[in-house]
Amino acid sequence: MVVRAAVAGASGYAGGELLRLLLAHPQVEIGALTGNSNAGQAFGSLQPHLGPLAGRTLEATTAEVLAGHDVVFLALPHGQSAAVAAELGPDVLVVDMGADHRLKDPADWDAFYGAPHAGTWPYGLPELPGGRAALEGSKRVAVPGCFPTAVSLALFPAYAARLAEPEAVIVAATGTSGAGKALKTHLLGSEVMGSASPYGVGGVHRHTPEMVQNLSPVAGQRVSVSFTPVLAPMSRGILATCSAKALPGTTAEALRAAYEKAYADEPFVRLLPEGQWPATASVLGSNTVQVQVALDTAAQRIVAISAVDNLAKGTAGAAVQSMNIALGLPETLGLPLTGTAP
Amino acid sequence: MVVRAAVAGASGYAGGELLRLLLAHPQVEIGALTGNSNAGQAFGSLQPHLGPLAGRTLEATTAEVLAGHDVVFLALPHGQSAAVAAELGPDVLVVDMGADHRLKDPADWDAFYGAPHAGTWPYGLPELPGGRAALEGSKRVAVPGCFPTAVSLALFPAYAARLAEPEAVIVAATGTSGAGKALKTHLLGSEVMGSASPYGVGGVHRHTPEMVQNLSPVAGQRVSVSFTPVLAPMSRGILATCSAKALPGTTAEALRAAYEKAYADEPFVRLLPEGQWPATASVLGSNTVQVQVALDTAAQRIVAISAVDNLAKGTAGAAVQSMNIALGLPETLGLPLTGTAP
Amino acid sequence: MVVRAAVAGASGYAGGELLRLLLAHPQVEIGALTGNSNAGQAFGSLQPHLGPLAGRTLEATTAEVLAGHDVVFLALPHGQSAAVAAELGPDVLVVDMGADHRLKDPADWDAFYGAPHAGTWPYGLPELPGGRAALEGSKRVAVPGCFPTAVSLALFPAYAARLAEPEAVIVAATGTSGAGKALKTHLLGSEVMGSASPYGVGGVHRHTPEMVQNLSPVAGQRVSVSFTPVLAPMSRGILATCSAKALPGTTAEALRAAYEKAYADEPFVRLLPEGQWPATASVLGSNTVQVQVALDTAAQRIVAISAVDNLAKGTAGAAVQSMNIALGLPETLGLPLTGTAP
Amino acid sequence: MVVRAAVAGASGYAGGELLRLLLAHPQVEIGALTGNSNAGQAFGSLQPHLGPLAGRTLEATTAEVLAGHDVVFLALPHGQSAAVAAELGPDVLVVDMGADHRLKDPADWDAFYGAPHAGTWPYGLPELPGGRAALEGSKRVAVPGCFPTAVSLALFPAYAARLAEPEAVIVAATGTSGAGKALKTHLLGSEVMGSASPYGVGGVHRHTPEMVQNLSPVAGQRVSVSFTPVLAPMSRGILATCSAKALPGTTAEALRAAYEKAYADEPFVRLLPEGQWPATASVLGSNTVQVQVALDTAAQRIVAISAVDNLAKGTAGAAVQSMNIALGLPETLGLPLTGTAP
């Protein structure tokens, strides 16, 4: 089977990473590459690291250009994907790497985005309980946000095993590519190199309700999330330090067992040996998530830490993994397990 | 008045930063520079950024070499400062930049260092309630750890105003210089660039009891601390993201007022205008701490964030500031208020 | 004497670094801070590292606002400084940190900038032969470009001693702040971190004729310059690797002697001991230039390398140094000799 | 065909990158992983980014352990590979990623390494004229040094077309991984971040004679090389800025044509469109070399610039490419053409 894929938003960071992965996918043929502000430009000047596509030209994002593909990936600003998907019809697999279809509760959407809600699509995090089944055969996929992926995979085993109180505190260091190829002063190299700085502090980051949405069903009750992202001087990577108060009687052994059980059969989650902690460099460019957990007996808190590449498993890798499941291909097909380090 | 100063441990990062500050201090004359493994080497090859001292030679750390100074700064491995101080006599101001004399409870020392406790010295964090008075006229100063400085200044106003529950959760991104000029694989440039990774997770970092010691008296009860340091790809800087559950009835206005009151007259703490957040680059090389605080009403948590330069205000700047107070000099003498950015 | 200084272009990187230096200058009082696109904004949000100026407001750049100062520093886009200077009158010291008044030959200006030439001002590189005298008492100063400073100080002693052929080859690694606070994709942190890339290759960089202009009179003949700048993943710093074929008979001893003679009495140029090479971190934030030179006997080339901070000695430090000379103050007043490292 | 491969020196950076590539190679089965100082340790703690090999244990480097493989890769300190190869016998393909067998002239070896010369093996740079033929069917391969790869591919077309004088000047920015996982102070993250510094200046770097050896036969005369490496704050990547005086009559068109001809059919060398310049981020993790060239008509010099990943095409990628050729496999098998950017 050859899967013919189009990418809308191909000149950005998420689109570029997706194409890097698709080029290595043995059953994908890359079709249309589209964008808006850069339409008409040589693709080799927009994504100089993607040599095999250097001879292509970026086309405008229109229904005509996107037609005739088996799968269309959307890496668009929020609010645009529903209209594009409607034009593509119900038989084309549409994988939305943006935020439009992730949230189930329209009130969350209103509070954090303030635009009409476009509806919910099956959620591309197969490692969550029930996650895989929701994607099989689906023609629509909402790729998770990068932070919710890192946080949900760090914490859900503790909630699934009923070991943690439903108040999670998360601080996540992130590389700058998570903000996209956006011309903003605080994203300039001169500003970010040598500096760590928070943003979206105090419960206002748009990924917060998605974390609540992922963890609450697992916990069997509403989990509150205090989330602080910290911009770190690196291009890629999220290191999510997540903690919650341990329920009385929680032991280190029970905690370890909960994580071992959750990830025994997951190809892309690597629970590290005890004493070894995740590092973002170890997962750079890969679809792997590194996870480790410890019990702080003095503070009575569970501390769970994950490392993901925000562009790979955090976005484009999850998109390909979801496509594989939706199309009935082997889930791991074409996805790198190894990081590019040092 | 000319203050003649010696520095033991002058070839390391803390010693180097101290000398950079002392060179700019209008009343200090730099005397002996000592070390052990590098004794006899040209100082210009050990600290090439300190041009004015390039012609010096590093001497061995002995009582004879350190004698005859008004103040002796110790940047030594832990366990060594008490013996050196004893030899210098009670009339010389000894400023210990190491850990030996920070902790008040010998049980804390035993649990985290495992060696005989050397006794407690006046603590060099004048911004804490009562901190200044303890230093005036003292002949011994224990410089705080870099993380406890960042964390204590971020959180104590909330505890002083009785707004926060006594369970603090802290994640602090730190530059690599905090680990010293130590030849360890995980500190190599190839390993740290492009990577974020935690260490000392789960309540085992040695700075944890010092945070508890600083915050508990202010809170009027024992404060538990969950502390996770994260190594970030930068040479300097600590960004401490600190949170605690807000006590019922806490308002954003009361929170802001508590911080404004605490820092109204502090020359080295800059409470940022609302909406502006600290960045480590903004305090690089300076004795300034940037602080900001917000109330997350959904998660009911106070989030307070501080940025310090671990080598400057976090170590060497605090040493000079404490010296100024101990000797009766103006507290801000010779200390930079501006960061070197970008 | 109190020198009242205004800064036009205070919200950029050069303006910010100038203000950092002026804040530490014992005889300068900082007056008006002006800009255009950001006029009216709180200065603390534009330059958050300059705490002591946080309460100021950026004013519009007008003759009225700039009037009444002893010295006016201009950090403006090229083409604007002549008009501003004319309005200020001949008795005010005007220090232009831009390119407008550096080049002596209008043909060079036409070829590299393509606008009417605004005339030549005394050149702010006192370390060049005759450089100091040209600045004493002057009311106009053209601050050199950052690359010409690094290159001229690396190479002129070899030319002054008639040891090198008049064809210089220069490759200079530079931090991103040299490009200013400009919103361009290639300056984003995501693009520059982890990457080295050249620009302005093949003789087209605008600093090239300035290098020729500096070196030719020293050499007594026209020196051709092949110059390639390389953007490196750091905020600040220039490392200029400069070479030229050695004239027959040149010895390592003669080469060393030429550099020792040139820099014996220069406060801001540090010729390193033999075998030690410059590093940009060693001069970060300082007005110091580190220089080293070697003779490659196999290739018969002189290799001279310098490190400067592009914003400090490369721009703002040279501006203050020139102001000191022009006003008859001690040349080194208020200028840091030490780098901020690590 | 399944190729069973062993790696001696598997815990270092070159060995780790080789294993990353071999894991993606469709016909390679990874056999023994050996080392010396770390023998007996879990491989997952030594190379945490190579998840699929995490369960392995590093074995000691002995002939017994290395026996029974089709190909043995050696990533050993210089001076050790000849003895190991002798024990493996003449029928095993031995690919030496170290320096021992690169140089043809024993005098070069003596001058730069000072040990008995171990003899010359076929040289693993197939893009050089005649390079491919020398590798076909060979049982021994000497992988080129990373700098000679970057420099030779940047310059040889100009020499092949007789456009350049035989005196090349090269300045190459390099990431820190080129120095290996070595515990040296100047390689610490605190030292390298934010800093550019040269080393091996003045004709003493060991890769210099290898460049002369590669370029001279192409030029038809001895080419002298002035080579200066500059350590840049990045983990990976070499950006080689190479120049030589243009022979009289050289035109930009002839220069472009020479490079187009040289690289028309090379799968791993991408001559960029005119006006676009290489960046190391664009080739990170890939076997691709980006090349661009320009004629500086004022200085009469050819400036050719290449970007390579020192660990990939610069070492491990070249090893796999050479293995493919030596074994008669498709040359590009298993080798990534795309960089991992941003």
Q: Do D194 and B235 touch (CB under 8 A)?
A: yes
How does pLDDT run across B231-248, given as a tens digit for each residue?
Answer: 999 999 999 999 999 999
pLDDT for D319 beyond 90: yes
CATH for the stretch D3-144+315-327: 3.40.50.720
Distance from CA of D179 to the nearest CA of B (A): 9
Distance from CA of C52 to the nearest CA of B (A): 7
How does pLDDT run across A299-321, given as a tens digit for each residue?
Answer: 999 999 999 999 999 999 999 99
For the annotated catalytic residues of D, the residue numbers are: 146
Average pLDDT, chain A: 97
Q: How confident is the model at residue B1 (pLDDT cuts 50, 70, 90)?
A: confident
Q: What is the pLDDT of residue B115?
A: 77
Distance CA D46, CA C236 (A): 34
As a whole-number percent, the residues of chain B with pLDDT over 70 amount to 100
Q: Which residue of B has its CA nearest to D177?
A: B190
How does pLDDT run across D197-207, given as a tens digit for each residue?
Answer: 999 999 999 99
> Count of CB contacts below 8 A, A vs D?
103
With contact defined as beta carbons under 8 Å apart, do D44 and D75 qualify? no
Q: How confident is the model at residue C78 (pLDDT cuts 50, 70, 90)?
A: confident
Q: May I ask the CATH architecture of the domain D147-308?
A: 2-Layer Sandwich (3.30)
Q: Which two tokens stand for residue A216?
A: 């609450």
How does pLDDT run across A62-98, given as a tens digit for each residue?
Answer: 999 999 999 999 999 989 998 999 999 999 999 999 9
How does pLDDT run across C223-265, given as a tens digit for each residue?
Answer: 999 999 999 999 999 999 999 999 999 999 999 999 999 999 9
Q: Which residue of A has its CA nearest to C45?
A: A186
Residue D74 neighbours by CB under 8 Å, 6+ apart: D8, D9, D80, D81, D84, D85, D94, D95, D96, D97, D98
Question: What DSSP assignment string belongs to B275-333?
Answer: T----GGGGTTSS-EEEEEEEETTTTEEEEEEEE-TTIIIIIHHHHHHHHHHHTS-TTT
Distance CA C121, CA B122 (A): 57
What is the DSSP pairing of strand D71-74 with strand B238-246? unpaired
How does pLDDT run across D270-309, given as a tens digit for each residue?
Answer: 999 999 999 999 999 999 999 999 999 999 999 999 999 9
Q: Which residue has the tokens 């293995």?
A: D323
Give contacts of D 209-238 with C, CB under 8 A.
224-226, 228, 230, 232-237
Question: What DSSP assignment string belongs to A214-257?
Answer: HHHHHHTSPPEEEEEEEE-SSSS-EEEEEEEEEPTT--HHHHHH
For B11, half-sphere exposure in the C-beta direction (CA atoms, 13 angstrom radius) is: 22
How far is residue B220 from each of residues B105, B161, B162, measured CA to CA in Å? Answer: 17, 11, 9
Range(s) of chain C covered by CATH 3.30.360.10:
147-308
Range(s) of chain B covered by CATH 3.40.50.720:
3-144+315-327
Distance from CA of C60 to the nearest CA of D (A): 34
State which amino acid sits at residue B290. Answer: Q
pLDDT-wise least confident of A109-118, B37-46, B248-257, D330-339: A109-118
Q: Given CB atoms, is D179 within the 8 Å cutoff of chain A?
A: no
- Dihedral sign of CA atoms B118, B121, B123, B129 in order: positive
Distance CA D193, CA B190 (A): 10
Residue D308 neighbours by CB under 8 Å, 6+ apart: D146, D149, D150, D153, D237, D238, D240, D280, D283, D289, D314
Q: How confident is the model at residue D159 (pLDDT cuts 50, 70, 90)?
A: very high
With contact defined as beta carbons under 8 Å apart, do D276 and A44 qualify? yes
Q: Which two tokens stand for residue D245?
A: 């005086």
Residues counted in chain A:
342
Distance CA A82, CA B141 (A): 64
Q: What is the pLDDT of residue B107?
A: 94
Q: What is the pLDDT of residue A114?
A: 87
Average pLDDT, chain D: 97
Nearest beta carbon to residue C196 from set D224, D239, D301: D239
pLDDT for B223 beyond 90: yes
Q: What is the pLDDT of residue A122?
A: 98
pLDDT for D317 beyond 80: yes
Q: Given CB atoms, is A13 within the 8 Å cutoff of chain C?
A: yes
> What is the mean pLDDT of the segment spanning B204-230?
98
Q: What is the pLDDT of residue A229?
A: 98
> What is the mean pLDDT of the segment spanning D250-268?
98
How does pLDDT run across C12-26, given as a tens digit for each residue?
Answer: 999 999 999 999 999
Q: Which of B278, B280, B201 is nearest to B233 (CA)?
A: B280
Question: What DSSP assignment string belongs to D94-155?
Answer: EEE-SSTTT-S-HHHHHHHT-S-------BS-TTSTTHHHHHTT-SEEEPPPHHHHHHHHHH
Q: Given CB atoms, is C41 within the 8 Å cutoff of chain B?
A: no
With contact defined as beta carbons under 8 Å apart, do A246 and A155 qualify? no
Give contacts of A 260-279 with D, CB under 8 A.
270, 272-273, 276, 279
Nearest beta carbon to residue B342 from set C193, C235, C336: C235
Q: Do B337 and C286 touch (CB under 8 A)?
A: no
Specify the pTM.
0.98
Q: Do D340 and A285 touch (CB under 8 A)?
A: yes
- Dihedral sign of CA atoms A9, A11, A14, A17 in order: positive
Find chains touching chain D: ≥3 CB pairs under 8 Å: A, B, C
What is the DSSP pairing of strand A3-8 with strand B301-308? unpaired
Residue D45 burial by CB count (10 A; 0-12/13-18/19+): exposed, middle or buried? middle
Q: Do C285 and B288 touch (CB under 8 A)?
A: no
pLDDT for B78 beyond 90: no
Catalytic residue among B146, B158, B269, B318: B146
pLDDT for A115 beyond 80: no
Chain D residues closer than 8 Å to B190 by CB: 13, 175-177, 179, 181, 187, 235
Q: A105, A169, A274: which to substitute to probe chain B, counting the most B Cβ within 10 Å?
A: A169
Q: Do C195 and D280 touch (CB under 8 A)?
A: yes
Residue A320 neighbours by CB under 8 Å, 6+ apart: A18, A21, A22, A25, A287, A334, A335
The 8-class DSSP code of residue C16 comes to H
Distance from CA of B89 to the nearest CA of C (A): 33
Q: Which two tokens stand for residue B105?
A: 């409870």
Residue A283 neighbours by CB under 8 Å, 6+ apart: A237, A289, A290, A307, A308, A309, A312, A313, A339, D49
State which amino acid sits at residue C276. Answer: Q
Q: What is the pLDDT of residue D158?
A: 98
Distance CA A334, CA A331 (A): 9
Q: What is the pLDDT of residue D115?
A: 77
Chain A residues closer than 8 Å to D306 by CB: none
Distance CA C152, CA C59 (A): 36
Q: Which of C310, C302, C58, C275 is nearest to C176 (CA)?
A: C310
How does pLDDT run across A125-154, given as a tens digit for each residue?
Answer: 999 999 999 999 999 999 999 999 999 999
Distance from CA of D232 to the nearest CA of A (A): 14
> What is the mean pLDDT of the segment spanning C157-173?
98
For the annotated catalytic residues of A, the residue numbers are: 146
Q: Which of C33, C5, C73 is nearest to C315 (CA)?
A: C73
Q: Which of B180, B176, B236 is nearest to B12 (CA)?
A: B180
Q: How confident is the model at residue C115 (pLDDT cuts 50, 70, 90)?
A: confident
Distance CA B164, CA B216 (A): 12
Catalytic residue check, B242: no
Q: Which of D166, D164, D258, D157 is nearest to D212 (CA)?
A: D166
Q: Do A189 and C193 touch (CB under 8 A)?
A: yes
Q: Given CB atoms, is A317 within the 8 Å cutoff of chain D?
A: no
State which amino acid sits at residue B255. Answer: L
Chain D residues closer than 8 Å to B191 by CB: 189
Give long-range contacts, CB 8 A cutoff, 24+ apart: D266-272: D266/D127, D267/D331, D267/D332, D267/D337, D268/D127, D268/D313, D268/D317, D268/D321, D268/D332, D268/D335, D268/D337, D269/D127, D269/D153, D270/A51, D270/A54, D272/A44, D272/A48
Q: Do C192 and A193 touch (CB under 8 A)?
A: yes
Question: What DSSP assignment string belongs to D249-306?
Answer: T--HHHHHHHHHHHHTT-TTEEEPPTT----GGGGTTSS-EEEEEEEETTTTEEEEEE
ipTM of the predicted assembly exceeds 0.85: yes
Q: What is the pLDDT of residue A78?
A: 87
Chain C residues closer than 8 Å to D294 by CB: 201-202
Distance from CA of B30 to the nearest CA of D (A): 25
Chain C residues closer than 8 Å to B235 by CB: 281, 341-342
